[in-house]
Amino acid sequence: MLINGWLSRVAATSDKLPRSAGTTPEVPMRLLLPTLAISALTACGSGMIALNDTGAPFDTSSEDTSDTTDTTDTTDTTDCSDSDGDGVCNADDVCPGSDDGADRDNDGNPDGCDDCPNDRNDDSDGDGVCDSQDDCPGSPDNVDSDSDGVPNGCDDCPNDKLNDVDNDGVCDSVDPCPGDPTNTCGSSITLTITADGYASEITWELWLDTDYYYPTDSGYFSTNYATYTHTYDVQGGGCVFVDDSWGDGGSSGSVRDDTGAILTSWTGLDYYSYGTFCFN
């Protein structure tokens, strides 16, 4: 195979080579294989192939042409101060000063910022008391019309401190016959009063809702420790007024209906100068 570059070199030294007149000198093959490493190009199909000094194509399979330069900037410029040590940066902290991960009732509000940390619905009735401590959930705890310690919403008889004294299922304030579980409303009441050792100091009166009764056979005591009992054929409520002139109390008594149920009662320790004991 002849290469144009070498032909010029051969031509330059052709006078030293044997030749026949009028003919092109023959170039020895040794001149075509110099010891110096050179590259030559030859046409091969549609591509160009690099040849080494032996005429063989260069082996470029092991040549590393990749760019290994790492241009990634790994510098972390984020400011993540965590004052409360809960693992959440201050800028993203839901509850600064407390652990964002502590949420006992799973309501999404960390315990440190949750008014009711044990109640998922917190204070569902809005009465200012957390549900887990609410005496009457669903109703305001601070509304107690009869001051019996039971909020209206959980009080069967919200207008009656004693609720239903005769246990007839009817609240006292609407019971037609308070003190009478049969609700037949007895037609009489019995008043009983007992004096102490100073009977002369005691006087009493009975007032009913519709009439005034002052017993003609009593109203005062003349005998120490005496007991006065009288039955009145009436219905309705009233009051017994007891007076002690010395101001140390002393008498005791009760009012019962015709079933024997006690409508009101008192002892000598329940008053001093003047006592009022009413019944319905």
Using pLDDT thresholds of 50, 70 and 90, give the confidence band for residue 72: low
Mean pLDDT of 232-258: 85
Mean pLDDT of 135-164: 88
| pLDDT tens sequence across 184-193 | 666 788 999 9
What CATH number was assigned to the domain covering residues 189-279? Answer: 2.60.60
Which pTM was predicted? 0.34
Mean pLDDT of 150-164: 90
Q: What is the pLDDT of residue 38?
A: 43
Domain coordinates in residue numbering, the chain: 1-14+26-58, 104-163, 189-279
Round to whole Å and give the CA distance between 236 and 276.
17
pLDDT at 135 over 70: yes
Is residue 246 within 8 A of residue 201, CB to CB? The reply is yes
| pLDDT tens sequence across 97-127 | 778 678 787 888 887 788 788 877 777 788 8
Is residue 162 within 8 A of residue 178, CB to CB? The reply is no
Q: What is the pLDDT of residue 155?
A: 92
| pLDDT tens sequence across 19-49 | 455 555 554 544 444 444 444 444 444 445 5
Q: What is the pLDDT of residue 11?
A: 46
Q: What is the pLDDT of residue 277?
A: 93
pLDDT at 9 over 90: no
CA–centroid distance for 208 within its chain: 55
Least confident span in 14-18, 138-142, 244-248: 14-18
Using pLDDT thresholds of 50, 70 and 90, give the confidence band for residue 217: very low
Q: What is the pLDDT of residue 109?
A: 80
Round to whole Å and give the CA distance between 133 and 121.
12
Round to whole Å and give the CA distance between 202 and 117.
62
